[in-house]
């Protein structure tokens, strides 16, 4: 059996386990679903198919978020049912762990819309890259967005640690090490460092063995963007 088949099954199993854990919640929701019985407001065939369509959908969602007109799509029981057996997200969003930068909220999306990968300051290593690769390589997800953000605490802590030559405790220092290069090129300006690091991660992902051929064929785009905590706006960097 090819490896990717095993992986797919393992992930499916993981989904079933999650469903099992949530059974109590699901059955409580069934009555509400029967009462409201609204169709999910986006049919599967409307899923953005190209990198440009996927980015346009994210931009529209972000616009609603900024304007305070979010529609919270795909967050009802009908959608839960629709994606229970199969998922087909249209984008991977790789962002920071920051509690103020929740991708589903920032882009006004819901269940089954996004693969979300999050690490402090969206720093990357092989394990994280593997998580980002899954959607594009296995399901044909057409877009990867690396999302840096304003006032990133992880970047700020790393900049201070690198400036003072003082190691951060535990594995936090691994994050600082991953940001060393961006720090050097930022001249100590934290906001500049956030943007440089975001673009660095995009460059790294573009070179990825599974991504590069898909990018060359126009089937995948990896872009970098910046999230403003003050306004809620996502601005494309690269
Ligand atoms: Zn952050």
pLDDT, tens only, 35-61: 333 444 544 458 999 999 999 999 999
Q: Cα–Cα distance between 64 and 158 in angstroms, integer?
A: 33
Alpha carbon of 175 to ligand 1 centroid (Å): 11
Give every CB contact of residue 160 below 8 A, 6+ residues apart in sequence.
166
The confidence score (pLDDT) of residue 135 equals 98
Alpha carbon of 162 to ligand 1 centroid (Å): 17
Poorest-confidence range of 10-19, 117-126, 164-173, 220-229? 10-19
8 A C-beta contact, residue 81 and residue 39: no
Work out whether strand 234-236 and strand 91-95 pair parallel, antiparallel, or are unpaired.
unpaired
Burial 216-232 (b: 16+ CB within 10 A, else e): eeebbbbbbbbbeeeeb
* Cα 231 to Cα 22, 62, 101, distances in angstroms: 35, 11, 12
The confidence score (pLDDT) of residue 30 equals 37
Alpha carbon of 194 to ligand 1 centroid (Å): 9
Q: In the 8-state DSSP scheme, what is residue 139?
A: I
Alpha carbon of 57 to ligand 1 centroid (Å): 24
- The pTM assigned to this predicted structure is 0.82
Alpha carbon of 150 to ligand 1 centroid (Å): 8
Alpha carbon of 99 to ligand 1 centroid (Å): 9
């Amino acid at each position: 059996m090819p490896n990717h088949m095993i992986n797919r099954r393992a992930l499916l199993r993981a989904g079933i386990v999650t469903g099992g854990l949530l059974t109590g919640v699901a059955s409580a929701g069934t009555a509400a679903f029967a009462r409201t019985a609204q169709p999910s407001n986006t049919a599967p065939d409307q899923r953005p198919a190209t990198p440009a369509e996927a980015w346009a959908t994210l931009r529209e969602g972000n616009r609603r978020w900024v304007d305070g007109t979010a529609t919270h799509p795909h967050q009802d029981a009908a959608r839960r049912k629709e994606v229970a057996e199969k998922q087909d997200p249209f984008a991977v969003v790789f962002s920071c762990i920051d509690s103020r930068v929740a991708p589903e909220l920032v882009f006004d999306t819901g269940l089954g819309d996004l693969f979300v990968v999050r690490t402090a300051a969206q720093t990357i290593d092989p394990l994280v890259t593997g998580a980002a690769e899954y959607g594009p390589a296995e399901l044909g997800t057409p877009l990867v967005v690396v999302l840096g953000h304003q006032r990133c605490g992880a970047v700020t802590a790393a900049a201070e640690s690198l400036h003072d030559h003082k190691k951060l405790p535990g594995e936090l220092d691994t994050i600082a090490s991953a940001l060393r290069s961006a720090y050097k090129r930022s001249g100590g300006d934290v906001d500049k460092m956030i943007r440089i690091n975001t673009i660095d991660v995009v460059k790294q992902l573009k070179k990825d063995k599974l991504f590069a051929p898909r990018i060359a064929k126009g089937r995948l785009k990896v872009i970098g963007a910046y999230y403003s905590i003050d306004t809620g706006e996502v601005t494309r960097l690269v």
